[in-house]
């Protein structure tokens, strides 16, 4: 597939899980890909090597989004090394949960810094380089719309903020032909939320399909939005959750 040939994409948090699947899919569709990592340098290098082994082009950038301006710097590095930026996928994020009474203010500060502020700064920086047809795609969570149990207040708060951010960016950037969308993922089998982990049985039980999704499922949706399929989609959230919210 070469639908994205000539395009340059930046995938934050692209060293593993959903981010790695997205980086590989966009590269398979023809894009040159930059991917960021915070700590997993070896895994990031492996993803980039797997892309290059199939004839693609990939670069790796260290960017710890606990320092939100690092996200904007990653945009500038992508443009410096690959010449342009057409697609930004804000995938980097963390999960913070626990009993409400045990939640500290610094827990809120940290998740908002990584899951919201870094997304805003990366999107702001990317918009400066994008032309008509640019795409900003953020990976959020179905838990923004449905909270199926306790201990999820912080995470749901942060992921809910992405909905407003997406709508605002779409209005700001629509006149320039830049499309902005939010992909709200449900139970996806990753290191952060493994299918065989402690929450696996419960999450399977509250989906309509009765099983987890794969990173490749999210990557396919991102590829659609990044390509011609996303021409008339902006300012909205698309949920991919196996029927969690049904």
Instruction: Indicate the helix (H) or strand (E) that contains 152.
Output: none
Kindly report the backbone phi and psi dihedral angles of residue 75, in degrees, each rounded to the nearest multiple of 5, phi listed first: -60, -45
Q: Is beta strand 8-11 parallel, antiparallel or unpaired with respect to 32-37?
A: parallel
Neighbouring CB atoms inside 10 A of 221's CB total 21
Catalytic residue among 155, 212, 224, 232: 155
Exposure class string for 173-203: b at 16+ Cβ within 10 A, else e: beeeebbbbbbbbbbbbbeebebeeeebeeb
Here the tokens at position 112 are 């908002």
Question: Which has the closest alpha carbon to 86: 22, 11, 146?
Answer: 11
Question: What distance in Å separates the CA atoms of residue 95 and residue 191, rounded to the nearest whole number?
Answer: 11
Question: What distance in Å separates the CA atoms of residue 116 and residue 158, rounded to the nearest whole number?
Answer: 6
Contact 31, 82 (CB under 8 A): no
Neighbouring CB atoms inside 10 A of 49's CB total 12
Neighbouring CB atoms inside 10 A of 2's CB total 9
Contact 85, 11 (CB under 8 A): no
Question: Which has the closest alpha carbon to 235: 156, 172, 142, 144?
Answer: 172
155 is catalytic: yes
* Residues labelled as active-site residues: 155
């Amino acid at each position: 597939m070469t639908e994205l040939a000539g395009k340059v994409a930046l995938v934050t948090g692209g060293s593993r899980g959903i981010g790695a699947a997205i980086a590989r899919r966009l590269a398979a569709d023809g894009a040159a890909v930059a991917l960021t990592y915070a700590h997993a340098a070896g895994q990031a290098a492996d993803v980039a090597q797997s892309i290059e082994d199939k004839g693609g082009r990939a670069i790796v950038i260290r960017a710890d989004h606990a320092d939100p301006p690092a996200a904007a710097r990653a945009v500038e590095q992508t443009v410096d090394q690959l010449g342009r930026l057409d697609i930004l996928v804000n995938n980097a994020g963390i999960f913070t949960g626990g009993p409400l009474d045990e939640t500290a203010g610094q827990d809120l500060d940290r998740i908002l810094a990584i899951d919201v502020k870094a997304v805003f700064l990366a999107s702001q920086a990317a918009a400066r380089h994008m032309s008509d047809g640019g795409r900003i795609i953020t990976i959020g969570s179905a838990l923004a719309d449905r909270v199926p149990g306790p201990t999820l207040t912080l995470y749901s708060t942060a992921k809910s903020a992405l909905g407003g951010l997406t709508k605002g960016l779409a209005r700001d950037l629509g006149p320039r032909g830049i499309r902005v969308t939010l992909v709200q993922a449900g139970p996806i089998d990753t290191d952060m939320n493994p299918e065989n982990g402690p929450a696996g049985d419960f999450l399977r039980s509250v989906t309509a399909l009765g099983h987890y999704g794969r990173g490749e499922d999210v990557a396919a949706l991102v590829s659609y939005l990044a390509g011609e399929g996303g021409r008339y989609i902006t300012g909205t959230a698309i949920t991919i959750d196996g029927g969690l919210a049904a």
